[in-house]
């Protein structure tokens, strides 16, 4: 039986006024310990094969390139990918770098969900977005 997996990253570079999801400002948070705990949970859960994986948040792209790489390595180690897997990561366009995009591609991510609420700078400021 194939499964779908959701992994929540509760950290953000900034807190948006409208967001109701569980989230924390990433500064001074135990992000590395959180990623290690996720890896342990994946190992214990023995998910098997996944047809879809969705990493949401918070803002997964707020992780550093190294933290993102560690998370994706844990996923590849503990979750088997179906041949037709849809592997999505939520991202804030302002957080993405060439390094992070390369790590996502290398880690098997084949879909980005970009959080673009508006292209109007003044409205972005009003809602607390970069």
pLDDT in tens, 4-42: 999 999 998 877 777 777 788 899 999 999 999 999 999
Using CA atoms, how far residue 129 sits from 6, 14, 100, 103, 104, in Å, is 24, 7, 20, 25, 23
In the predicted model, is pLDDT for residue 102 greater than 70? Answer: yes
pTM of the model: 0.88
Is the CB of residue 85 less than 8 Å from the CB of residue 62?
no
- Which residues face 53 on adjacent strands? 5, 87
CA 47 from centroid of its chain's CA atoms: 18
pLDDT in tens, 39-65: 999 999 999 999 999 999 889 999 999
Q: Check residue 22 and give its pLDDT.
A: 78
């Amino acid at each position: 039986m194939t499964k779908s997996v959701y992994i929540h990253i509760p950290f953000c570079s900034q807190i948006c006024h409208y967001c109701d999801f569980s989230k924390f400002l990433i500064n001074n948070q135990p992000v590395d310990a959180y990623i290690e705990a996720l890896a342990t949970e994946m190992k214990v859960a023995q998910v098997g094969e996944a047809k879809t994986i969705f990493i949401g948040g918070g803002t997964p792209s707020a992780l550093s390139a190294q933290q993102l790489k560690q998370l994706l390595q844990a996923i590849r180690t503990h979750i088997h990918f179906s041949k037709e897997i849809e592997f999505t990561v939520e991202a804030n366009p302002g957080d993405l770098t060439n390094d992070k995009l390369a790590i996502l591609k290398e880690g098997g991510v084949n879909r980005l969900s970009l959080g673009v609420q508006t292209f109007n700078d003044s409205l972005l400021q009003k809602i607390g977005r970069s």
